Every structure is written in structure tokens, then in C-alpha cells.
């Protein structure tokens, strides 16, 4: 049926603005804003914001085309730019409706009915939304769908949680191997001495420790001026665009600011780095850049970042860090050893990430098929439809999880 026969727009405004502020997400639906990490500008006053009651629908007009819509389990207020709807009768189980409204094919309908010059300006207004057709299963089948999807998504989320835990353990193992090798070398029987290095208290007695500025050149990045095919890097990330200017690798990219500034990158070939990342190159052949890269993965970034009000690093921070300085031949042995072992661990991490992606894809497809009636679940159990390559171990699974996706949340 057309949504206008099932729903109607409501516009009741807050007189004080003191009600709970609600956030509308394409992943989690409607939740209290205080529970979310929203960095958007907040209005000085929320007086005149729209009231959204329990059981009513709130749609983020600017991001409905991404699925930022849902049924509220909370009484509160939303931006006056949002749309609020209520049921004309009692056709829908609110839990079923909440799942349905973010179903991927319906979200495509939102996109087709939105207006604007480009995606960041698309808006879905009430008259267009209410003309969209919605599936309407019998009430008892809606209830069955909700119960079935609750059980299925809980099991799949447990699998995802277990894989994320496995990834975290692999990262810990990898970092321990790196730290051991770059601070203590590969000979377990060598004598040790105090190092004065923050990420390794002891080093072999025949090594020295030296400030990085004596063996490494660290330079600022800048915004590119020309277009082209050269990969451009920022803090802790892969190439995010291309340009016409370039520097010659190899180089180690070190974060200057940003949420991922603690993730160094070793790059080869032509590249460019913007001002959120430094690039580092060794001053002479006695200090290998590959060995320096592995040292950079061990830096105590939190210690340096905590010295400033904003999470950032400076050239002085990097230049004054004391580094282990093994003989050149040992540096080579160490980074070759680490290349081999880290490659194996990275392969396992990539496999886990692939399995998570497949589980998320399967979950989303299952939700879509069940909520729209493409899959008839009457008489089915959860085990009847789990694919053969998806196994659930409740002992290792842990709590339910959400997908790691950027949420579309904003306030006008």
C-alpha cells in the first residue's frame, strides 16, 4: 500500500527544548544523541524542535536516501528539518516497521524520490515519501519475522564479534613480534643493557641508542597543486586521491594529526603526502629505512599525543625519539625476519576481515529477503537457513555487535 494510506506526517513542536535529543542513524535507527559520538555543530537552543513520541517515525530528511530513518523507542525531539510520521491505524508491528524502513530496496526508493543537485544535497520530503509503496504482511507474520530476524542477527553478530576478537589478538601477536625483534634482536642469548628507549627498556650490549634526527630526515607534507596519477597519502591511511606532483620513495609516512596518526606506512615509488602526514627518509645507508619503519610501529604515540590538547605529533617529537641502532647487517636480518612473519599474520587478518564482510553481506541480504517476503520463513528455524560456511561457536562469540560503517547523522 502507499505509505500515505498507512502513515501521516505530524509536526508538534517543543515549547522548551528540554526533551531528550534524538539521533537518527542508517545503522541503529533512532537512539538518544548522548549515546552517540556526534561531532556536528549543536544549536544554542532546541526550542521549537519537533517532538517524536514512542512508536513514531523520524526521518533525517538530508540522509533518508542512505537509510537514516526509523521507529523511535524513546520520547524526545529531533531537528525541525526532520520529518516525523505516525501510523494512521495499527497496521504495523513497530518492530517490523523499524526493520522495514531501512531495507536496502526501500532505501533505493528513497534515493530515487529524493531531490537535489548532488548526493550531499539530496532531500526526501514528506510528499514524496508518502507516495512510496510499502509491503504489508499479516500481523502474525510480522511478529514471526521480527522474532526470526532477532535470532538470526544475534547469531551472525556473535560470529562477527568472534572474528573481530581474533583480529585484535593477531594484531597483538604481530606487534609483540615486531617489538621483540627491533629492541632485542634475533639472538635470545645475547646480553642486554638499559636502552633509554621508550618502547624498549633494554637492548643488546653491542647496540647503541640514538635520537632519530641524526639518522632520519623528517619533512612536512603539503596540499598538491596539480592533478595527475600520483597517489596522495594522509595520516595513517591508504592513498585517498591522486595528483600531478610527486616525491620519490621509498619513504615512511608518519602521522602529524588525525585519528590514525599512530599508523605509519612504508611506501615505494612516486607519491605525495598532505600536511596531515610527515615523510621520513634515512640520511645514510647505515640506518635502513625498512628497519626504521618497524621501529615506528612501536613508538609510544599516546605519550607524545598526551602532551598537547589536540592529538598531534611534531617533527621534534619524531626527531628526538631515541632509536635502537644495531649493526647494519643485523638491521637487514631483522627486517627480513619481520617481513616474513608479518606477511603470514597479515594474511590471516585479511582472511578474518573477508569473513566479516561476507557475514555482514549475508545478514543484510537475509534481512532484506525476509522482511519483504522474498523468503518464506513460516515453519523455518534459524539452523535451516544458515549457509554451510557460517558456523557459530557460542563459547567464543561474545556480545552482539554493530557493523563498522560510517553513520549518516547530522543536525541542521
CA distances from 165 to 162, 171, 357, 398, 403 (A): 5, 10, 15, 9, 14
pLDDT greater at residue 381 or residue 283: 283
Q: Which cell numbers hold the place of 61?
A: 530528511
CA distance 302 to 357: 30
**Residues 316 and 334 occupy one common structural domain:** no
**Residues 339 and 393 occupy one common structural domain:** yes
List of residues 6+ apart from 262 with CB closer than 8 A: 236, 255, 299, 301, 302, 305
Q: 28: pLDDT confidence band, cut at 50, 70 and 90?
A: confident
**Residues 291 and 338 occupy one common structural domain:** no
Q: What is the pLDDT of residue 406?
A: 38
Contact call for residues 109 and 101 (beta carbons, < 8 A): no
- 309: domain CATH number is 3.90.220.20
**Residues 315 and 336 occupy one common structural domain:** no
Contact call for residues 171 and 178 (beta carbons, < 8 A): no
- Provide the domain limits for residue 117: 3-136
How many domains is the chain built from? Answer: 3
pLDDT in tens, 231-279: 999 987 788 899 999 999 999 999 998 778 899 999 999 999 999 999 9
CA distance 73 to 52: 10
**Residues 47 and 162 occupy one common structural domain:** no
Whether residue 198 is contained in a domain is answered as no
Side-chain-side CA neighbours of 107 within 13 Å: the count stands at 20
Mean pLDDT estimate for the chain: 89
Which domain-ending residue is among 295, 325, 355?
Answer: 325
Q: How many other C-beta atoms can be found within 10 angstroms of the C-beta atom of residue 123? A: 16
Q: What is the pLDDT of residue 260?
A: 84
**Residues 132 and 23 occupy one common structural domain:** yes
Contact call for residues 260 and 235 (beta carbons, < 8 A): yes
Contact call for residues 197 and 323 (beta carbons, < 8 A): yes
**Residues 155 and 243 occupy one common structural domain:** no
**Residues 36 and 158 occupy one common structural domain:** no
Angle between helices 289-296 and 328-371 (to 10 degrees): 50
Q: How many other C-beta atoms can be found within 10 angstroms of the C-beta atom of residue 12? A: 12
Identify the DSSP state of 258: S
Q: What is the pLDDT of residue 388?
A: 52
Q: Which cell numbers hold the place of 8?
A: 501521516
Question: By mean pLDDT, which of 30-44, 65-79, 339-353 is the weakest?
Answer: 30-44
Characterize the bridge pairing of strands 76-78 and 50-52: antiparallel
**Residues 361 and 312 occupy one common structural domain:** no
Closest to 143 (Cα-Cα) out of 378, 307, 391, 335? 378
Cα 281 off chain centre by? 30
List of residues 6+ apart from 184 with CB closer than 8 A: 190, 192, 200, 202, 203, 204
Judged by DSSP in three states, 251 sits in strand
Average pLDDT over residues 377-382: 73
**Residues 223 and 156 occupy one common structural domain:** no
Contact call for residues 354 and 346 (beta carbons, < 8 A): no
Place of cell 618502547: 199
Contact call for residues 195 and 324 (beta carbons, < 8 A): yes
Q: Which cell numbers hold the place of 151?
A: 535470532
Judged by DSSP in three states, 151 sits in helix
Q: 338: pLDDT confidence band, cut at 50, 70 and 90?
A: very high
pLDDT in tens, 225-241: 999 999 999 987 788 89
**Residues 124 and 177 occupy one common structural domain:** no
CA distance 157 to 408: 21
Contact call for residues 49 and 23 (beta carbons, < 8 A): no
Amino acid at each position: 500500500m502507499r505509505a500515505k494510506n498507512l502513515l501521516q506526517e505530524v509536526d508538534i513542536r517543543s515549547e522548551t527544548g528540554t526533551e531528550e535529543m534524538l539521533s537518527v542513524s542508517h545503522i541503529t535507527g533512532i537512539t538518544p544523541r548522548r549515546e552517540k559520538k556526534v561531532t556536528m555543530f549543536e544549536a544554542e537552543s532546541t526550542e521549537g524542535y519537533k517532538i517524536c513520541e514512542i512508536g513514531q517515525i523520524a526521518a533525517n530528511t538530508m540522509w533518508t536516501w542512505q537509510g537514516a530513518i526509523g521507529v523511535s523507542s524513546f520520547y524526545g525531539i529531533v531537528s525541525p528539518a526532520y520529518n516525523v510520521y505516525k501510523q494512521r491505524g495499527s497496521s504495523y508491528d513497530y518492530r517490523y516497521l523499524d526493520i522495514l524502513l531501512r531495507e536496502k530496496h526501500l532505501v533505493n526508493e528513497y534515493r530515487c524520490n529524493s531531490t537535489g543537485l548532488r548526493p550531499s544535497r539530496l532531500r526526501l520530503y514528506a510528499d514524496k515519501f508518502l507516495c512510496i509503496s510499502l509491503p504489508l504482511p499479516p500481523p502474525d507474520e510480522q511478529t514471526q519475522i521480527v522474532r526470526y530476524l532477532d535470532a538470526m542477527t544475534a547469531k551472525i553478530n556473535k560470529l562477527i564479534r568472534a572474528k573481530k576478537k581474533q583480529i585484535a589478538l593477531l594484531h597483538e601477536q604481530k606487534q609483540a613480534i615486531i617489538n621483540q625483534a627491533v629492541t632485542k634482536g634475533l639472538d635470545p642469548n645475547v646480553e642486554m643493557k638499559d636502552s633509554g628507549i621508550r618502547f624498549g627498556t633494554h637492548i643488546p650490549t653491542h647496540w647503541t641508542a640514538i635520537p632519530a634526527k641524526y639518522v632520519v630526515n623528517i619533512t612536512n607534507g603539503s596540499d598538491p597543486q596539480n592533478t595527475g596519477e600520483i597517489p596522495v597519502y594522509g595520516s595513517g591511511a591508504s592513498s585517498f586521491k591522486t595528483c600531478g606532483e610527486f616525491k620519490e620513495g621509498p619513504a615512511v609516512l608518519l602521522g602529524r594529526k588525525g585519528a590514525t596518526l599512530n599508523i605509519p606506512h612504508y611506501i615505494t615509488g612516486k607519491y605525495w603526502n598532505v600536511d596531515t602526514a610527515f615523510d621520513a627518509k634515512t640520511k645514510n645507508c647505515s640506518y635502513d629505512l625498512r628497519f626504521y619503519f618497524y621501529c615506528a610501529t612501536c613508538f609510544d604515540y599516546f605519550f607524545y599525543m598526551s602532551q598537547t590538547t589536540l592529538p598531534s605529533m611534531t617533527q621534534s617529537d619524531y626527531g628526538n625519539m631515541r632509536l635502537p641502532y644495531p649493526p647494519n647487517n643485523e638491521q637487514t636480518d631483522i627486517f627480513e625476519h619481520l617481513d616474513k612473519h608479518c606477511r603470514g599474520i597479515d594474511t590471516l587478518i585479511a582472511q578474518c576481515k573477508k569473513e566479516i564482510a561476507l557475514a555482514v553481506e549475508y545478514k543484510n541480504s537475509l534481512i532484506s529477503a525476509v522482511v519483504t517476503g522474498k523468503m518464506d520463513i513460516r515453519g523455518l528455524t534459524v539452523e535451516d537457513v544458515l549457509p554451510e560456511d557460517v558456523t557459530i561457536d557460542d563459547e567464543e562469540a561474545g556480545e552482539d555487535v554493530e557493523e563498522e560503517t560510517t553513520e549518516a547523522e547530522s543536525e541542521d
